[in-house]
C-alpha cells in the first residue's frame, strides 16, 4: 500500500500522537474503573447486597471506612492478614488489582451499616459493655459509625465469636496493639463481648454511660 507516502508527514505525526493520547486515556480509565458487574457478585454472595450479610458466619462490610477495607483486602492478598478457614478471602483477593480493591471498598463503604437482629444474653451483654470500653473502644469506637477499624457493634455473633477465638488460640495474626488486649480475655469475656455487640441491634441494649 502506498497510502502512507501520500499522507503529509506533519498530519501523520499529529494523528499518531492523537491516537497515542486516546490509548493513554483508555488505559487510565480502563484501570480506574474495574468491571464491577463481574466483581460484585463475588463479594455479595457472602457479604450480602449492599454489604449487609444475612449469613451469621460472614461479617457485614457496609460502612466500614474505605481505608480499612483497602488495608484488609491488600492484607489478605499480600499475605499480611490471615484468612480464617471459613472465608476464602485470601483466594478471592488474589487476582484483584489495587484499583479494583479501591473501587470495591468505596462501593461497600458508601452503604450504611445495619446491625444484625439477633438474640443475646442481657447479663453477659452488660459485662461485655464494660470490657469493650476498657479494651476495645479506643480502636473500634462506641458505635458502627465511630469505628476507625473493623465494625464490631451489631456484627453477627457467630462471626465475632469465631474470629475472637481464632485470635485467642493464636490461629490468626492480629495487630500487636490488639493482641495486648485480646490476650487478656477469658472464654467468658469473649462470650460477654460477643453478646454485647449482638445487643447493638436492639433497643434493649445496655446503657452504661
Ligand atoms: C466465601 C465467603 C466470602 C466471600 C465470597 C467474600 N468474603 Fe469477604 N470476608 C468473609 C469472611 C468470613 C470474613 C471475615 C474474615 C475471615 O474470616 O477471613 C471476610 C472479611 C472481609 C473484609 C474485612 C472485614 C473486617 O471487618 O475487617 C472485607 C473488607 C471483605 N471481606 C471484603 C470482601 C470483598 C470486597 C469480596 C469480593 C471481592 C469478598 N469479601 C468476598 C467471607 C467472604
Ligand atoms: C490498638 C487498636 C485495637 C484494639 C485496642 C483492638 N483492636 Fe480489633 N482490630 C484492630 C485492627 C487494626 C483490626 C484489623 C485487623 C487486621 O488487619 O488483621 C482489628 C480487627 C478486629 C476484628 C475483625 C476480625 C475479622 O475477622 O475481620 C475483630 C473481631 C476485633 N478486632 C475485635 C477486637 C476486640 C473484641 C477488641 C477488644 C478486646 C479489640 N479488637 C481491640 C485494632 C484494634
**pLDDT 10s digits, 158-191:** 999 999 988 888 877 778 888 888 888 999 999 9
Identify the band that residue 90 occupies on the pLDDT scale cut at 50, 70 and 90. confident
Q: Is 175 in the pocket of ligand 2 (CB under 6 A)?
A: yes
| pLDDT greater than 50 at residue 200 | yes
Give the pLDDT of residue 99: 96
The DSSP 8-state label assigned to residue 117 in this structure reads: P
Give the pLDDT of residue 203: 60
Give the pLDDT of residue 207: 57
Give the pLDDT of residue 170: 80
Give the pLDDT of residue 109: 97
Give the pLDDT of residue 4: 43
Tell me which residue has cell 485467642. Answer: 168
Stated pTM of the model: 0.84
For ligand 1, atom 10: residue with the closest CA: 87
What mean pLDDT is predicted for residues 100-126?
Answer: 96
For ligand 1, atom 39: residue with the closest CA: 43
Tell me which residue has cell 480506574. Answer: 32
Identify the band that residue 82 occupies on the pLDDT scale cut at 50, 70 and 90. confident
Nearest ligand 1 atom to the CA of 90 is 18
| Spans of all domains in the chain | 14-109, 119-198
Pick the CATH number of 14-109 from 1.10.3720.10, 3.30.950.10, 1.20.120.140, 1.10.760.10: 1.10.760.10
The DSSP 8-state label assigned to residue 35 in this structure reads: -
Identify the band that residue 80 occupies on the pLDDT scale cut at 50, 70 and 90. confident
Which of 138, 139, 165, 38 has its CA nearest to residue 96?
Answer: 38
| pLDDT greater than 60 at residue 5 | no
What mean pLDDT is predicted for residues 5-31?
Answer: 48
Q: Which three cell numbers stand for residue 197?
A: 455487640
Average pLDDT, the chain: 83
Q: Which residues of 60-88 are buried (b: 16+ CB within 10 A; e: fewer)?
A: bbbbbbeebbbbbbbbbbeeebbbbeebe
**Which is the CATH superfamily of the domain at 119-198?**
Cytochrome c-like domain (1.10.760.10)
Q: Is 40 in the pocket of ligand 1 (CB under 6 A)?
A: no
| Cα-to-centroid distance, 178 and ligand 2 (Å) | 6
- On the question of a common fold for 14-109 and 119-198, the answer reads yes
Identify the band that residue 17 occupies on the pLDDT scale cut at 50, 70 and 90. low
Amino acid at each position: 500500500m502506498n497510502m502512507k507516502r501520500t499522507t503529509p508527514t506533519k498530519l501523520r505525526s499529529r494523528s499518531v500522537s492523537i491516537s497515542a493520547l486516546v490509548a493513554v486515556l483508555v488505559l487510565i480509565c480502563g484501570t480506574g474503573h474495574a468491571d464491577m458487574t463481574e466483581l460484585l457478585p463475588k463479594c455479595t454472595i457472602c457479604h450480602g447486597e449492599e454489604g449487609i450479610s444475612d449469613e451469621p458466619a460472614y461479617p457485614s462490610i457496609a460502612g466500614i471506612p474505605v481505608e480499612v477495607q483497602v488495608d484488609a483486602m491488600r492484607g489478605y492478598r499480600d499475605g499480611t492478614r490471615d484468612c480464617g478457614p471459613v472465608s476464602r478471602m485470601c483466594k478471592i483477593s488474589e487476582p484483584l488489582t489495587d484499583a479494583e480493591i479501591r473501587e470495591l471498598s468505596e462501593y461497600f463503604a458508601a452503604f450504611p451499616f445495619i446491625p444484625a437482629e439477633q438474640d443475646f444474653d442481657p447479663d453477659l451483654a452488660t459485662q461485655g459493655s464494660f470490657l469493650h470500653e476498657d479494651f476495645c473502644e479506643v480502636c473500634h469506637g462506641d458505635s458502627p459509625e465511630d469505628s476507625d477499624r473493623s465494625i464490631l457493634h451489631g456484627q453477627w455473633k457467630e462471626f465475632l465469636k469465631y474470629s475472637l477465638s481464632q485470635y485467642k488460640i493464636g490461629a490468626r495474626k492480629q495487630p500487636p496493639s490488639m493482641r495486648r488486649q485480646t490476650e487478656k480475655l477469658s472464654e467468658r469475656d469473649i462470650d460477654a463481648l460477643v453478646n454485647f455487640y449482638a445487643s447493638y441491634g436492639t433497643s434493649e441494649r445496655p446503657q452504661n454511660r
